Structure formats: structure tokens, C-alpha cells
Amino acid sequence: MSIGFILIKAAPALEHEVYNKLLKVQQIIELQPLFGEYDLIAKIEAEDFEKLGEIVIDKIRSVKGVIDTKTLTGARF
């Protein structure tokens, strides 16, 4: 299982719309609004890193109003 934290920038005035659309993405297990450079942070789970990338591209970046993302992947110790 792979875990990723996705920092998300939304277009001005579309933050609430983006938030509500992302709440419907099954692989997002936590979604929090932020203040600062990024508007939201999403925690996602996937089978592997390849699937993690697919979720970011197909289900997060494709949402109307998402203008930028930064993906941070979890590490194993």
C-alpha cells in the first residue's frame, strides 16, 4: 500500500467547488483546507506508486478549478 499527500492549488473563487468535488474521490481518505500557498491537502491510498500517480492525474488534476498540485509520497522506515 502506498500513501501520498497531495498539496492542491485551486483557482480563485473555486476553492469550495474543488473541495466538494474532491470529497467524492474514493481514494482520498482525508481532505483538509489550508491557508497559504496551497488551498487543500489530500491524503490518498493506492496499491502502489503507479496507481498513486494515476489517481493524482486522473482524479485530482482533472477536477475543474485545480491549477497545481505537489505530491509528497510516504516512505517506509
Q: Report the CATH number that the domain containing residue 29 is assigned in CATH.
A: 3.30.70.920
Does the pTM of the predicted model rise above 0.95? no
SS3 (DSSP) at 25 = coil
Domain count, the chain: 1
Segments forming the whole domain that contains residue 47: 2-73
Q: Which of 2, 8, 11 is nearest to 64 (CA)?
A: 11
Tens digits of residue pLDDT in 15-74: 999 999 999 999 999 999 999 999 999 999 999 999 999 999 999 999 999 999 999 997
